[in-house]
Amino acid sequence: MKIRFLSSSSGVSQSAIRNPKFPIFFCALLLALCSSAEAQPIKPNRAQQACKVGDYSVAEYERLGPGQQAEFVETYRQKHSSAWKQALEALRAAHGNPPFQVIGRLKAAASIQEKIARKKYFCFSQLTDIAGTRLIIPNYAALPLVTQNIENQFVIREKEDLLRDVRESRYRALHYLAWVEDRPVEIQIHTYRGTLWADASHQLVYKGPFGDNQTLISYLYRLSDVIFLLDSGLWTDSRGSRDASTPGQGDFEKDSCGHKGCEPPGSDGSLPADPRKYA
């Protein structure tokens, strides 16, 4: 704080300064100004506000040795196991038969440690995707059915529509953050084509060796747009005909498809992709 000394040029007369009441007034004013400045509370940042009593502090975790850190993360990871299994069972009970498929994973301990460091989290509760599930649908005509079921089955804390608000990477999906047994469980909804695209992009670009390869990235952007048109039933061939393999919403009123076009890839109805790779 800068203090400006008073002089006759400042508009205060010498007689006013010589007045015995003036020093008392000046000191009171100075004290009030200092008290006002000190009384301003320091607002905590968003990370500090998010870390609640009883949560695990990343600062305390970082003070542990490497072996203790690994043990702590594995213990924290396993605390999500029961909620994850319960969410998988509920999803499979509703959508466990073709043309749908449900997969999932508990985030690997090494991935948890990497993400905490990369995101600079303040507390462990900010990591909400340790328990992850994915419901795979043939195309977007199935969305009204599956979203209604999920929102009726689970306590939903957040919903992120990445079909409407597409990321710069062209990643498209619908994400829910559900609360199961007092633990967060992420539920993703992808199409089969979208799952294959997401896995390829994840392995090659996001966590792969081609993060700076603009040719590959541009190709994946265009491929994502084409897949979206196919899965939306908006793709047309050179004659202006729509893709016949894309069923309409009426085909999903029951938990079956009824025609070959919406069967998932693979002769046994399985997904030819490693579900662990969307960590």
DSSP of 221-245: HHHHHHHHHHHHT--B-TTSPBPTT
The whole-number pLDDT of residue 117 equals 94
In eight-state DSSP terms, residue 57 is B
Q: Which amino acid is at 11?
A: G
Helix 66-78 and helix 109-119, axial crossing angle in degrees, nearest 10: 110
The whole-number pLDDT of residue 264 equals 40
The whole-number pLDDT of residue 41 equals 45
CA distance 78 to 80: 5
What percent of the chain has pLDDT above 90? 60
The whole-number pLDDT of residue 199 equals 93
Confidence class for position 12, pLDDT limits 50, 70, 90: very low
Instruction: Give the tens place of pLDDT for each residue, 228-250.
Output: 999 999 876 655 555 555 555 55
The whole-number pLDDT of residue 258 equals 36
Beta-strand ranges (E) seen in 62-119 are 101-106
Identify the helix (H) or strand (E) that includes residue 161: strand 155-161
Ramachandran region, residue 225 (left: φ > 0; alpha: ψ -120 to 50; beta: rest): alpha
The whole-number pLDDT of residue 30 equals 54
Residues 58-79 have a mean pLDDT of 96
Q: Which residue has the tokens 């870390």?
A: 51
Mean residue pLDDT across the chain? 79
Residues 209-222 have a mean pLDDT of 94
CA distance 219 to 200: 12
The whole-number pLDDT of residue 242 equals 57
Residues 200-216 have a mean pLDDT of 91
CA distance 163 to 147: 13
Q: Which residue has the tokens 């002769």?
A: 267
Confidence class for position 28, pLDDT limits 50, 70, 90: low
